[in-house]
Amino acid sequence: MNHEIPLPQLQPKEYKSAIKPVWCPGCGDFGVLGSITKALAGLQIQPENVAIVSGIGCSSRMPTYLCTYGFHGVHGRALALATGLKTARPDLTVIATGGDGDGFSIGGNHFLHTCRRNPDMTYIVMDNQVYGMTKGQASPTTDPTWQHGKLTPAGTGINPFQPLAIALAAGANFIARCSSADSNGTARILMEAIRHPGFSMLQVLSPCVTFRPEQREWKNQLIAAPEERQRTADPAEAARLLLSDEGVYTGILFKGERPVYQPQTGTVSARIEAFDEEFRL
Ligand SMILES: Cc1ncc(C[n+]2csc(CCOP(=O)(O)OP(=O)(O)O)c2C)c(N)n1
Ligand code: SF4
């Protein structure tokens, strides 16, 4: 006979910390916070088995607002930290979060090589096509004609970075585009991303209402990809969806089958004195 007492079901709000977000009212990142708590509750993962790792930026404040383990790290280095953590603790659910500046500008190199390496973790980029925290500079995903103040008075004139097409080419194993305005839809996709082995990449279009107020219109401009074309394991079909000029598709745009990166770390033991000796100048 089984005498185990069932644990009470965790509710989304139980994944939130006591710290209130300092985001501007209406910032898309609120919706993403809601999606993360709903997805974790949907999967009933205990908070102590989750680690949220971020860089620097408004969106990178995410670990602070959750009561899971968290690491609010260094600008552009979330994926390096998260990969190290997942390698050392494969039992944890590791989620990296951040912005388009953090992930594709200063962190661009780590982004490419994390896709290529394919560790079993999820990366949520809150893409608002701007550096929000530092007051509105152009980012790698900014439209070339967007004009802002003294820094880019005539726009950047540079073609925007295509994060998902690049993730596909570099080897990410799960690729999706979502909208922060659809908190439940994003939560459902996030649950699938967490469950899928390998590196899962979610680009969540998340408006910066302060520096890009026109992004409030995104919710009327995005198109759900046809259900029968979603979840393809064929990279060529996924590339057609990602590079389509029919509109900006949301949904799960690729679900691959590459083997997961999990090196055998073995047991390493070292004494601090030995390091001290090695690095003494
Ligand atoms: C090494 C380093 N360079 C630059 C900065 C300044 N900085 C802080 S956040 C940020 C960009 C934030 O933009 P993004 O990652 O898109 O996040 P958002 O604030 O839009 O959510 C920059 C350049 C920094 N903190 N550290
Ligand atoms: S500046 Fe933009 S990205 Fe940052 S909290 Fe405000 S609305 Fe959000």
How far, in Å, from the CA of 183 to the mean position of ligand 2? 18
Whose Cα sits closest to atom 6 in ligand 2?
Answer: 24
Q: Range of 164's domain?
A: 12-279
- Residue 2 has a pLDDT of 61
Confirm whether 5 is domain-assigned: no
Ligand 2 near 24 CB (within 6 A): yes
Tens-place pLDDT, residues 225-261: 999 999 999 999 999 999 987 889 999 999 999 999 9
- Residue 33 has a pLDDT of 98
**Backbone dihedral region of 122: left (phi > 0), alpha (psi from -120 to 50 degrees) or beta?**
beta
Rounded-to-integer distance, Cα 82 and Cα 89, Å: 10
Whether the predicted model's global pTM rises above the 0.85 cut: yes
Confirm whether 1 is domain-assigned: no
Tens-place pLDDT, residues 129-172: 999 999 999 999 999 999 988 889 999 999 999 999 999 999 99
Confirm whether 118 is domain-assigned: yes
Ligand 2 mutation pick, 131, 133, 141, 212, max ligand atoms within 8 A of CB: 133
Confirm whether 2 is domain-assigned: no
Confirm whether 121 is domain-assigned: yes
Confirm whether 27 is domain-assigned: yes
Q: Ligand 1 site: residues with CB under 6 angstroms?
A: 56-59, 75, 98-102, 106, 126, 128, 130-134, 139, 208
User: Count of domains in the chain?
Assistant: 1
Q: Which CATH number do you get for residue 168?
A: 3.40.50.970
Q: Is the pLDDT of residue 108 over 80?
A: yes
Q: Is the pLDDT of residue 1 over 60?
A: no
Ligand 2 near 102 CB (within 6 A): no
Of 124, 101, 102, the C-alpha closest to 202 is 124
Ligand 2 near 126 CB (within 6 A): no
Confirm whether 160 is domain-assigned: yes
Ligand 2 near 69 CB (within 6 A): no
